[in-house]
Amino acid sequence: MSAARAPRVPVEERLFSLVLALLATEPGLTKSEILSTVQGYRQKYSSRGDNAALERQFERDKDDIRDLGVPLETLDDPAAAGNNQMLRYRIPRGAYELPVDISFSSEETALLTLAAMVWREGTLSGESRRALLKLRSLGGTATVPELDYAPRIRARDAAFEPLRDALDRGVLVRFQYLKPGETEPRRREVAPYALVQHQGRWMAASIEADTGLRKTFLLSRIIGPVSVTSIAFERPADATADAALAALDEVWAARTATIRVTPGSDAETRLTKRLSTGIRDDDVLIVHYSDQQILADELASFGPEVTVLEPAELRDLVVSRLLRVLDVHSADPSPSGGDRG
């Protein structure tokens, strides 16, 4: 198979295969042996052609697995000292394995793997990748009935991956952000310090480059591509995912709406299950929220099943949404505006 038609191997699978190969060899493997045999390289390797691009990929991969805490060793061949092509690479198993006083059962290893799979979509992607890599290479897989269906949290917002990349690299990003009530997006330049999921929505906790203020941006409101710069920033010690989530929780706890619901309705069922919802005897709920626009969207979807009592601003937002729906469905669909015969 030609390099141009070689199937794409995900980077994590390639790194995992490289770690396994280097763990399995005592004398080490040369670069040529790695490129021609290891999954992710061999598909593109040419025994007669130019493998310069593949060699550069291997050099980057070496740096990546070392950054993930893997003790990769480089050994010089005594018979060919100074010949870089004859250098041998290995991972000493004793330096990579868990300490002798720490062990996991197969079920514990499976649960830890599942946790790392979920964690990888969060804020500490580098650490989660290291956890997954070590767990997989140490083995210990097992058939656990409860894990036959393994949930995979995937961020659907296109902004997620570039933001996570910027977070890992510690650099600024630029994007267009459309705030509720505005008709045109505004350019933002920020330093993301955490990607967090709060009440089911992904948000980027960031520091504004020009003001130093800390702000949280909803990923679904980012318009267009995120530009990842090469401008480094130093993250303050207290700029953490826990701090970002605590701030969002404070906002959630402080903001409430008083809503009357139709007994037995879908609105009553769903809204009573929201976090911290209070229930009064007169079919009135006290609902917490962090974003008024998002709550207005949700309440409008229930139609006549809800009535917003307060705050007045939220009630106006819900009414405006319902009026827009009415306008759309009241419009005459015929091109001429008259009856169709």
Q: What is the pLDDT of residues 280-323, one digit of tens each?
A: 888 899 999 999 999 999 999 999 999 999 999 999 999 999 99
- pLDDT, residue 52, reads 87
Reference 88, options 29, 45, 35; nearest CA is 29
Q: What is the pLDDT of residues 39-59, one digit of tens each?
A: 888 888 888 878 888 888 899
| In the chain, domain spans | 6-96, 106-147, 160-244, 255-330
The pLDDT of 66-70, averaged and rounded, is 77
The pLDDT of 12-17, averaged and rounded, is 79
- pLDDT, residue 18, reads 86
Name the band, by pLDDT with cuts 50, 70 and 90, for residue 38: confident
pLDDT > 70: percent of the chain: 74
- pLDDT, residue 3, reads 44
For residues 150 and 114, the answer to whether their CB atoms sit within 8 Å is yes
Inform me whether the pLDDT recorded for 114 exceeds 70.
Answer: no
The pLDDT of 247-274, averaged and rounded, is 92
Gap between the Cα atoms of 261 and 256, Å rounded: 15
The pLDDT of 244-266, averaged and rounded, is 93
Map residue 284 onto helix, strand or coil. Answer: strand
Kindly give the residue spans of alpha helices, DSSP state H, lying in the chain: 11-23, 31-37, 52-67, 93-96, 106-119, 125-138, 160-169, 241-254, 266-272, 292-300, 312-330
Q: What is the pLDDT of residues 203-238, one digit of tens each?
A: 999 999 989 999 999 998 999 999 999 999 888 888
Q: Which residues of 169-191 are buried (b: 16+ CB within 10 A; e: fewer)?
A: eebbbbbbbbeeeeeeeeebebb
End-to-end CA distance of the chain, in Å?
A: 63
Whether domain 6-96 has CATH 1.10.10: the reply is yes
For residues 209 and 190, the answer to whether their CB atoms sit within 8 Å is yes
Q: What is the pLDDT of residues 166-209, one digit of tens each?
A: 888 889 999 999 988 788 999 999 999 998 888 878 899 999 99
Distance of CA 38 to the CA centre of its chain: 28
Cα→Cα distances 235→29, 123, 313, Å:
39, 14, 37
- pLDDT, residue 141, reads 43
- pLDDT, residue 340, reads 44
Choose the CATH number for 160-244 among 2.30.30, 3.40.50, 3.90.79, 2.60.120: 2.30.30
- In 10 A of CB 272, how many CB atoms? 13
- pLDDT, residue 1, reads 44
The pLDDT of 90-104, averaged and rounded, is 70
The pLDDT of 80-89, averaged and rounded, is 75
Q: What is the pLDDT of residues 122-167, one digit of tens each?
A: 444 454 455 555 545 544 444 444 334 344 444 457 888 899 888 8
Q: HEC string of 205-272?
A: EEEECCCCCEEEEEHHHEEEEEEEEEEECCCCCCCCHHHHHHHHHHHHHHCEEEEEECCCCHHHHHHH
Q: Which amino acid is at 98?
A: L
Cα→Cα distances 162→9, 168, 171, 184, 315, Å:
20, 10, 11, 22, 37
Cα→Cα distances 263→33, 67, 220, 266, Å:
70, 57, 33, 9
